[in-house]
Amino acid sequence: MNLLELQRRMAEDVRRPLTDDFDMQQSTEDGTPLSDLAGSYIKPNDRLSSFERLEIYNRQYWFRVIGAVSEDYPALNALLGEKRFDALVLAYLRENPSVSWTLRDLGKKLPAWLSEHPTFAGRRHQLAADVAALEWAYVDAFDGLKLPPLNAEDLQGLGPDTRLALQPHLQLLQLRYPVDELVLAVRRDAPETEIVSNASMQRKQVERISLPTMKREAVYLAVHRYDDIVYYRRIDREAFTMLTSLRDGGTLAEALGTAFHRSRLSAEKQAEKIQSTFAHAAELGWFCRADKH
């Protein structure tokens, strides 16, 4: 076995998924004992066998990648409990192993994966899926690209056929539970996490992490970055629909038509909502040129 073959052999064995008990597997897919493979390139010592020495690297690799995912989903961990959360992450990583040079992307597919694997969250599946979606939106908002925003002169020239792009870091979420409160409750005692929500102003600060009771409620969130801090901003359904349409390439007329389709609001109230939505979005720099996106 030359050096390249040795490196490939060990890399494959080190990355081999752990068992449900977080131990190294005893054999390969074709039934070859891993103790035999380990013995072919690792010497035992007076305390550990070849297999046991390899298992240390195997477990450390997986503990590192599990830890990387866990760092992005502290609220999901708190909601499910450590044992169930660890099982969820291990199962997720078996199907979605690391394929990037950066650990940043490791948990990217977890919200979609969790939606398709309800057994890991049990009766709290929909709540857990909302939490996962919000926590990944935080990651995207935190390091998403920021483009030059439109200025007042740009906005004065808007017309029905205008297409507006939204900042890449802006994430729009339609949720079934007010999970911004739950995520904030978990993150509140983590000083390294800069995260703010307008919903948090309505809740009292507590000295220890406590998960609030979650009752089903339609919640629309804009997750965005401002001055290098991530904020969760609740918006109404019309604003969410309008911004989503613009993000998806619709014209201004199409976005407004979609937002107020079958609306019972008077023309005056609709105008007030449009003005308020655009004023807040412009103030926060959410709009940018479509041809720059």
- Would you say residue 16 lies in a domain? yes
Instruction: Please report the DSSP string for 30-99 in residue order.
Output: T--BHHHHHHTT----SS--HHHHHHHHHHHHHHHHHHHHHHH-HHHHHHH-HHHHHHHHHHHHHHS---
Q: What is the pLDDT of residues 228-263, one digit of tens each?
A: 999 999 999 999 999 999 999 999 999 999 999 989
All residues at 6 or more sequence positions from 79 whose CB lies less than 8 Å from its CB, including other chains: 124, 127, 128, 131, 182, 211
CA–CA separation, 229 and 248 (whole Å): 25
Low-confidence ranges of the chain (pLDDT < 50): 191-194, 199-208, 292-293
CA–CA separation, 163 and 158 (whole Å): 9
- Would you say residue 1 lies in a domain? yes
- Would you say residue 30 lies in a domain? yes
How far CA 99 is from CA of 92, 113, 115, 194, in Å, comes to 14, 16, 22, 28
Please give the pLDDT value at position 205. 39
- Would you say residue 268 lies in a domain? no
> Alpha-carbon dihedral of residues 40, 45, 49, 50, nearest 10 degrees?
-20
- Would you say residue 281 lies in a domain? no
- Would you say residue 125 lies in a domain? no
- Would you say residue 63 lies in a domain? yes
Please give the pLDDT value at position 85. 92
E strand map for 138-217 = 164-166, 171-175, 195-197
User: Ramachandran region of residue 223, left (φ > 0), alpha (ψ -120 to 50) or beta?
Assistant: beta
Residue type, 260: F
Please give the pLDDT value at position 245. 96
CA–CA separation, 19 and 94 (whole Å): 10
In this structure, the strands spanning 229-235 and 195-197 are parallel
- Would you say residue 17 lies in a domain? yes
Number of domains composing the chain: 1
CA–CA separation, 91 and 170 (whole Å): 30
CA–CA separation, 285 and 281 (whole Å): 6
**For residue 65, what are the domain limits?**
1-71
